[in-house]
Amino acid sequence: MRYARVLFVTPSYPGRHFGGYRPPVGIGYIEEFIASLGVATTALDLNAGFKERDLYRKIAEFKPDLIGFTMMTYQYMTTYRMIAGLRRLYKDIKLIVGGPHVSALEGEVMGQCPDVDYAVSGEGELPMRDLCLGAPLETIRGLYYRVNGEVRNGGPRYYVDNLDQFPFPRFGSYPLGQYTNEIEISTSRGCPHKCIFCSVPDHMGRRIRYRSARLVGDELEYFYRRGVRAFQIGDDNFLANRRRVMELLPEIESRRLKGAVIRCGQGIRADLITEPILRAMKSAGFKQLGIGVESGSNRILDVICKHLTVEQVDRAVRMACELDFDVTLLFVYGTPGETLDDVKKSIELAQRHPVMKAYFFNLVPFPGTALNDWVNENAALLGNREDLFNRTDEWKLRAQPFFETPEMPLKDRIVARRLTGRASRQIQVRTLKRKLARWGPVGLLAAQAGNFNFLERLFIRNRRLRTLMDRLIFHSECSGI
């Protein structure tokens, strides 16, 4: 065995919109898998109230011979600096990075961060298995490594067909009581679509691979028995295979998860929503849906390569609201060719339905996306790329423009941010008034909290507040873990 003791680290992202409110599922899968093969593992999520000094303490106690980091592009320099600090203190411990940032940049990360010994592009379970168990480095696909200072790789990444071979994460290394009472459930990986702003097809594959319905049911039931009452489906395209969905939902319903709140908030496609599927989801315990609308303009939807129409969105949203789902609409603005009039169409679409929330995100050219390529060739970046991605507040990352176009210069983008922010708050207040009306004047007063972003952050990150709100809205039996 090349590495017998592995510590997994999720870096802290100060100012992140949602913070560390669920244990990290991606790196959780990798830890669970290699632990099942006899590798000693532990983990530390610095978003769960821990500091760098806790990481040093963990290293001293556990004595790992390999430390793995998961990375996002957001605040990637913070992770690089942490790794550099560890290298100065621990010369003999090997360091490896993975995650969306690495999957987008691949071997380039090794040049940006010379203190890293390895990098994994794409899914990490099998490369980590082979690395730890001693396979020749040049045979490990998706792995980047150094030989006499030269960066090499073991071949192109691959995507695993049999996801059932990976045990679901039990999060034994994580203090579940320090998160909100919600667990993310991944039932599939990959997305076949080519939206210009999304990097998921690049690092998770265009072909969707599925876990069996039985194992998904087992996972839900496992955490339900541990006291969890809220679940977030983390799939990037949950409804892609309707036949499979209609097999999965009865399996979930058969587990009798009384009082559970199941959310599907990643942005399901409106053109895949049908009344039979919605009714089956409702029967299985789904209560919240996030619909990836992106724009209220058919012209901009074509530019984005969404392969969707506003008419399909209206139909799907109306249907979901009539069946009493709490619906969140997800929009982006700032698309190449978009104007303020297009942004106003998005706002009008959101306002004509009784949805729970509408989020409007400034379009960000993440590495590995077609949008990033377009911006590099055509648009004017509004600052240094490193500075733009390393802002210390995710609200600024999501709201402040990265680039401008002739159709929407910087001044119009600032106006768009103001208009969408106001619309989002108005929709949220309207929802809270409706949900809390039975509490009379106190409920109406509490509804005004939707006007303040800092209160939303507090709610998202606070375990007790989220549990209380689930009880008030869904009358569920949300207990602690």
CA distance 144 to 80: 17
pLDDT at residue 97 greater than cutoff 70:
yes
pLDDT of residue 445: 61
Residues 24, 98 share a domain: yes
Please say if the pLDDT value at position 480 is more than 50.
no
Distance, in Å, from the CA atom of 310 to the CA atom of 269, rounded to the nearest integer, reads 12
Instruction: Report the CATH number at residue 121.
Output: 3.40.50.280
Q: Same structural domain for residues 121 and 191?
A: no
3-state SS, one letter per residue, for the chain: CCCCEEEEEECCCCCCCCCCCCCCHHHHHHHHHHHHCCCEEEEEECCCCCCHHHHHHHHHHHCCCEEEEECCCCCHHHHHHHHHHHHHHCCCCEEEEECHHHHHHCCHHHHHCCCCCEEECCCCHHHHHHHHHCCCHHHCCCEEEEECCEEEECCCCCCCCCHHHCCCCCCCCCCHHHCCCCEEECCEECCCCCCCCCCHHHHHCCCCEECCHHHHHHHHHHHHHCCCCEEEECCCCCCCCHHHHHHHHHHHHHCCCCCCEEEEEEEECHHHCCHHHHHHHHHHCEEEEEEEEECCCHHHHHHHCCCCCHHHHHHHHHHHHHCCCEEEEEEEECCCCCCHHHHHHHHHHHHCCCCCEEEEEECCCCCCCHHHHHHHHHCEECCCHHHHHCCCCHHHHHHCCCEECCCCCHHHHHHHHHHHHHHHHHHHHHHHHHHCHHHHHHHHHHHHHHHCHHHHHHHHHCHHHHHHHHHHHHCCCCCCC
User: Is 172 a member of any domain?
Assistant: no
pLDDT greater than 80 at residue 453: no
Which CATH number belongs to the domain containing residue 200 in this structure?
3.80.30.20
Residue 160 belongs to some domain of the structure? no
Query: What confidence tens digit (pLDDT) does each residue in 292-316 have?
Result: 999 999 999 999 999 999 999 999 9
Does pLDDT of 383 surpass 70?
yes
Res 444 pLDDT > 80: no
The token duo for 315 is 């139909």
Q: How many residues does the structure list for the chain?
A: 481
Mean pLDDT confidence for 12-31: 80
Q: What is the pLDDT of residue 448?
A: 64
Residue 170 counted as domain residue: no
Q: Same domain for 378 and 329?
A: yes
Identify whether 165 is part of a domain: no
CB-based contact 131:2 (threshold 8 Å): yes
Report the side by side order of strands in the sheet with 66-70: 40-45, 5-10, 66-70, 94-98, 118-120, 143-147, 150-153
Residues 202 and 122 placed together within one structural domain of the fold: no
Structure tokens at 29: 């899968």
Q: 362 forms bridges with which residues in the sheet?
A: 333
The answer on 256 and 342 residing in a single domain is yes
- Whole-angstrom CA distances from 162 to 29, 188, 210, 252 are 14, 11, 8, 21
Let me know whether 412 and 460 are in one domain: yes
Res 476: pLDDT: 46
Please check whether residue 166 lies inside any domain of the structure: no
Residue type, 332: V
Q: What average pLDDT does the segment 368-389 reach?
A: 88
Which pLDDT value is given to residue 477?
Answer: 45
Domain boundary among the residues 103, 136, 153 is at 153
In a domain, 481, yes or no: no
- Beta strand 118-120 pairing with 183-185: unpaired
Q: What is the mean pLDDT of residues 429-451?
A: 68
Burial of 379 (0-12, 13-18, 19+ CB in 10 A): middle
Q: Which residue has the tokens 């899968």?
A: 29
- pLDDT tier at 380 (50, 70, 90 boundaries)? confident
Q: Are residues 141 and 187 in the same domain?
A: no
Write out pLDDT tens, residues 51-73: 999 999 999 999 999 999 999 99
Same-domain status, 340 and 206: yes
Question: Who has greater pLDDT, 432 or 444?
Answer: 432
* Together in a domain, 141 and 225: no
pLDDT score of 452: 53
The predicted structure's pLDDT at residue 451 = 57
Q: For residue 203, is pLDDT > 50?
A: yes
Token pair listed for 262: 């199941």
Looking at residue 474, what is its pLDDT? 54
Q: How far is CA 274 from the centre of its chain?
A: 25
Instruction: Note whether residue 257 is domain-resident.
Output: yes
Looking at the fold, whether 103 and 210 belong to one and the same domain comes out as: no
Comparing 462 with 162, which gets the higher pLDDT? Answer: 162
One domain for residues 291 and 250:
yes
40's tokens: 């000693």
The per-residue pLDDT for range 337-353, each reduced to its tens digit, is 999 999 999 999 999 99
Q: Is the pLDDT of residue 478 over 50?
A: no
Q: How far apart are CA 248 and CA 187, in angstroms?
A: 9
What gap in Å lies between CA 90 and CA 65, rounded to an integer?
A: 10
pLDDT over 70, % of the chain: 88
Q: pTM to 2 decimals? A: 0.91
Mean pLDDT over the full length of the chain? 90
Q: Are 325 and 278 in contact (CB under 8 A)?
A: yes
Domain count of the fold of the chain: 2
Q: Does 168 reside within a domain?
A: no
**How many Å apart are CA 295 and CA 209, to the nearest integer?**
28
What's the pLDDT score for residue 387?
Answer: 86
Closest CA to 395 of 453, 472, 448: 453
Q: What is the pLDDT of residues 385-396, one digit of tens each?
A: 888 888 776 666
pLDDT level of residue 465 (50, 70, 90 thresholds): low
Note whether 12 and 149 are same-domain residues. Answer: yes
Domain that holds residue 34: 5-153
